[in-house]
Structure 1
Amino acid sequence: MKLQPEDTLIQAFWIDLGSSVVPDYNWGRIDFLTSDYLVLLKEHAGGDQLYRDPADGRLWELIRPNVHFAGGGPPILKVVSAEQAVEKYGSIPLS
């Protein structure tokens, strides 16, 4: 479940079972990564969060683009550059 060097985007989806919908595997993976592995650096007023991978230092942003759904809908975890992170979140810790 940990991040691989080739990982740059993890997008979760709902799986439609007909009478209900359930989160997919990536949803659980994102939940694990953001609660037990990645280091939280900053939170944005809109609810987005910036994380650092302790293994390789990459910056990851957690977003929930479907704010009209309960809980923000399926999450997206994506790599962002330091420049993108500073533009959105302000200063960030170097390590």
Structure 2
Amino acid sequence: MCTLENMDIDSTESEIVGEWIEQSAGKVVANHSCERIDWLVKYALKEISVNGDSWEILYQNPKDGAYWEMSYPSSHMHGGGPPKLSKLSSALAKEKYGASSNT
């Protein structure tokens, strides 16, 4: 069971990578990181911008102003595969999304 204590982003983290785990009879389930990413984008991070061409979404953590990009690196998989959150520098967020530090 996921709790708030193990859901929030730690200041030392730079990436949270979700995985799909195949179980018996071909059933696939999301790991804790997928659940955590889902919780973070729903309750902890603020959506800033969406890149419809690449399905990447820029978020900002209101607690520390850090930018986080959600992507789907296994795009060959059904539904784009499991998500990944990667911390972006302000400069890279501005370059890719036009984000400003006071967004």
Give TM-score scaled by structure 1 length: 0.90
The one-letter code of the counterpart of 2:40 is L
The share of aligned pairs that are identical, in percent, is: 34
2:10 matches 1:4: yes
Quote the offset at 1:69 in angstroms. 2.0
Q: Distance in 2 between matches of 1:91 and 1:41?
A: 8
User: Which consecutive unaligned segments of at least 5 residues does structure 2 have?
Assistant: 1-6
Mapping for residues 6-85 of structure 1, pairs under 5 Å: 6-19=12-25, 20-45=27-52, 46-85=54-93
Q: Distance in 1 between matches of 2:46 and 2:76?
A: 27
Q: Distance in 2 between matches of 1:3 and 1:15?
A: 23
Determine helix, strand or coil for the equivalent of 2:68: strand
2:92 matches 1:92: no
Q: Distance in 1 between matches of 2:101 and 2:51?
A: 15
- Poorly superposed stretches of 4+, deviation over 3 Å: none
Quote the offset at 1:93 in angstroms. 5.7
Q: Distance in 1 between matches of 2:98 and 2:77?
A: 28
Q: Distance in 1 between matches of 2:96 and 2:51?
A: 8
